[in-house]
Amino acid sequence: MQMPPCKPDPLATAFRRKPQLPAPEFTIMLNYAYPDARGHFGPYGGSFVAETLVKALDELKAAYAHYRTDPEFIAEYQSELKHFVGRPSPIYHAERLSRELGGAQIFLKREDLNHTGAHKINNTIGQAMLAKRMGKPRVIAETGAGQHGVASATVAARYGMDCVVYMGSEDVKRQSPNVYRMHLLGAKVVPVESGSKTLKDAMNEALRDWVANVENTFYIIGTVAGPHPYPMMVRDFQRVIGDECIAQMPEMIGRQPDAVLACVGGGSNAMGIFYPYIEHEKVRLIGVEAGGEGLGTGRHAASLSAGSPGVLHGNRTYLLQDAGGQIIETHSVSAGLDYPGVGPEHAWLKDIGRAEYVAVTDAEALAAFHRLCRTEGIIPALESSHALAQAMKMAPEMGRNQTLLVNLSGRGDKDIGNIADLTGAQFFCRPSCRQGVL
């Protein structure tokens, strides 16, 4: 397959630091340069939208093409990441966990330490800066776990914008702390009652809002999905994760990891850490999907592991759909992974064999959540716990001189009430446990 030549990326250059120790030689994919001008990653991606959005997307493409190479924009973005978000995020060696498991050493990229508690802020800062320059006073967003909603509300407050966040009513219940955080930040949270009342339906409602208010509204999409240029744009704003890792790992261990793991719902945290590593072919890239109650049960959200190509939310990708092309309901203990599609670049990386995708069940993710809490004193998000579970499976089968780098995409404060309910724990901040208290 003939691939177009690589082009220099100003954003990449802006965030790359020289490692203090030399990295080993790698086989380099010099011909990976996606998407193409129309937003395609092989047969995936593109822009399948209503005519009313074509002009808005053309305007967005032109603005992003201009500002992504603008020195003033890049300098402001860098400054916001450093002074507002708190980057660079550190890499942490999970020594007790590694010792307990035996085998490979596990390292964690600590995106949970960012302002707002997850990787989502990397992207919302960039998109809000674009919205400001495009003269859009109102931003909207969809959210599942609530982290993208919180990050969108945060940047709207930072830049003085109106903010509306669409969230499935089921997710409102299981992520109630983040709902109140959005309220505190001045955002209006709209519970979505249609469909499965989860992330897919929230995105549907956000797209309807955008169609109706396109002149004054900027849609901050939170993942590497949606119509072009969103998959590319979100990836570019999230790639700071992987660029930092490429500099940090040689400083820590003298080389790059043997494998990089990240959870995959829509796939923004995974794409952020994977993308700079794509050219390093000796580094395995492993995306971990939500296996729910098991792939054989039909109650899961593993689009790449069990789906087929189709079109959803403006792009062609792998979807969970029936024989007639209708989207089927998904399930995951993690609200942020409960989505029937995936970013088109992940679909392409799967097809060309550059990345591997596996599924982890609810039970495995919950076990990994508790184990990291008790071995390292870190409370991970349930989304991140899926990637941790896969690392915990792999480590004992590997050598002690090998390394696994896990993107710890967010912290689990938002999940503790839901986990308490699932495990039957007495947690007195939950409404179900308040009777008779005080």
Active-site residue (options: 152, 384, 385, 409)? 409
Q: Quick check: is 79 catalytic? A: no
Quote the CA–CA distance of 163 and 62 in Å, as a whole number.
24
Q: Quick check: is 120 catalytic? A: yes
DSSP letters of 53-72? HHHHHHHHHHHHHHHTT-HH
Residue 317: which H helix or E strand, with range?
A: strand 315-319
* Residue whose C-alpha is closest to residue 121's, from 73, 169, 156, 170: 156
- Peptide linkage before 90 cis (omega within 30 of 0): no
Q: Quick check: is 142 catalytic? A: yes
Active-site residue (options: 80, 111, 142, 383)? 142
Helices (H) and strands (E) in the chain, counts: 17, 14
Is-contact 120 136, C-beta < 8 A? Answer: no
Active-site residue (options: 61, 120, 136, 200)? 120
Six token digits for residue 228: 């072009």
323: three-class secondary structure by DSSP: coil
CB atoms within 10 A of CB 245: 26
Query: What amino acid is encoded at 415 in this protein?
Result: D
Quote the CA–CA distance of 249 and 235 in Å, as a whole number.
21
Question: Known catalytic residues?
Answer: 120, 142, 409
